[in-house]
Amino acid sequence: MLTSAFVLAASQLTSSAALAEQALPESYFSYEAVYQFQESITTCQRYQDCRVVLSEYALLNSDIMSYDQARINMFHEVDVIDGDGERVVQTVYALKTFRVPDYGLPKHTIVNTEHTFPRSLLKRGRDYRKSQADLMHLFPAVSTVNSKRGSRPFGDCEGNGDEWKVCGNGFEPPHVHKGTIARAMFYVSVAYDLPIDTKQEETLRSWSRQYPVTNAERVRAHRVYQIQGNRNPFVDHPEWIDLIIDF
Residue 109, CA atoms < 13 Å, CB-side half-sphere: 3
Computed over its alpha carbons, how large is the radius of gyration of the chain?
A: 17
Residues comprising the chain, all counted? 247
Q: How high is the pLDDT of residue 2? A: 42
Gap between the Cα atoms of 226 and 26, Å rounded: 13
- Give percent of the chain with pLDDT exceeding 90: 83
**CA-CA-CA-CA torsion for 98, 174, 225, 242, nearest 10 degrees?**
180
Q: How high is the pLDDT of residue 41? A: 95
Q: Specify the higher pLDDT residue, 110 or 84.
A: 110
Q: Tell me, what amino acid is at 177?
A: H
Gap between the Cα atoms of 49 and 226, Å rounded: 29
- Average per-residue pLDDT for the chain: 91
**167 strand-pairing partners:** 170
pLDDT band with cut points at 50, 70 and 90 for residue 184:
very high
